[in-house]
Amino acid sequence: MIRAKRTGDFFMMGEHFHQCSKRIEDRSISELIGIARGMVADGSINELEAEFLVQWLKENSHITCWPFDVLNRRVLAMMDDGVIDEEERKEIFSLLKSLIGEKPVAEHVASFSSTLPLTKPEPPIIFEGRTFCFTGKFAFGQRKDCEAAVEQLGGCPQPRVTTTLDYLVIGFLGNEDWMHSTFGRKIQQAIDYNAKGRKIAIISEDAWAQALCSIA
């Protein structure tokens, strides 16, 4: 009986810790979005702003959810040589602008996702032994980075859509007018195959990244 009570206490403590961690995580993401909005407001990022962002990311490196993990990895990688030059500052600006657009990240994801023929309901995302094809531009990084992440979890990246493909992942930074874009051709190919009885799951980068974070 004592053991059961202790187990219950530990469970309650675990739940409380999880809820607190989630609240801290949410606040940090909101703060990050605010910082990003402030930095892109004047159309460029100066050296002091870049240094502030790097320091903020380092101090909040315990936050591992999307899109924080993506931005953290991309920006800190630029610091490998100890300096963020003008071209890298332009890249940071472009990434922040693409992530937040003219509205919060969550709203942008919802808006973009609503224009895409994503598989509904959202399928479970399994990496081990499954094939993945990536299309569009990714906040996570270059396509090779996405493919490497899949391989680390036992998945198999593919360069094109085939009848045996399991998942087609659409980049968050893709054009909302996807039907008329280059990467839209892969989407259309997957739709055509599914119409013929195949079961290719079309998923967003957001869903893919969340599944990745839950395992990594």
3-class SS letters over the chain: CHHHHHHHHHHHHHHHHHHHHHHHHHHHHHHHHHHHHHHHCCCCCCHHHHHHHHHHHHHCCCCCCCCHHHHHHHHHHHHHHCCCCHHHHHHHHHHHHHHHCCCCHHHHHHHHHHCCCCCCCCCCCCCCCCEEEEECCECCECHHHHHHHHHHCCCEEECCCCCCCCEEEECCCCCCCHHHCCCHHHHHHHHHHHHCCCCCEEEEHHHHHHHHHHHC
- Residue 132: closest CA among 162, 100, 156: 156
Q: Is 14 helix (H, G, I), strand (E, B) or coil?
A: helix
Q: Report cis status (omega within 30 of 0) of the bond before 123.
A: no
Helix/strand number for the chain, H first, E second: 8, 4
Residue 1 is predicted with a pLDDT of: 42
Residue 66 is predicted with a pLDDT of: 56
pLDDT at 17 over 50: no
Q: Name residue, tokens 């409380």.
A: 16
Q: CA-to-CA distance for 207 and 213, rounded, in angstroms?
A: 10
pLDDT at 199 over 90: yes
pLDDT at 90 over 70: yes
Q: CA-to-CA distance for 127 and 37, rounded, in angstroms?
A: 34
The pLDDT tens digits of the residues spanning 21-74 come to 455 555 766 787 788 888 888 888 888 888 888 888 888 877 766 566 667 777
The pLDDT tens digits of the residues spanning 145-192 come to 999 999 999 999 999 999 999 999 988 765 554 444 545 678 888 988
The pLDDT tens digits of the residues spanning 106-160 come to 444 444 444 567 898 999 999 999 999 998 888 788 889 999 999 999 999 999 9
Residue 9 is predicted with a pLDDT of: 46
**Domain range 112-215, CATH architecture:** 3-Layer(aba) Sandwich (3.40)
Domain coordinates in residue numbering, the chain? 2-102, 112-215
Q: What does pTM read for this prediction?
A: 0.53
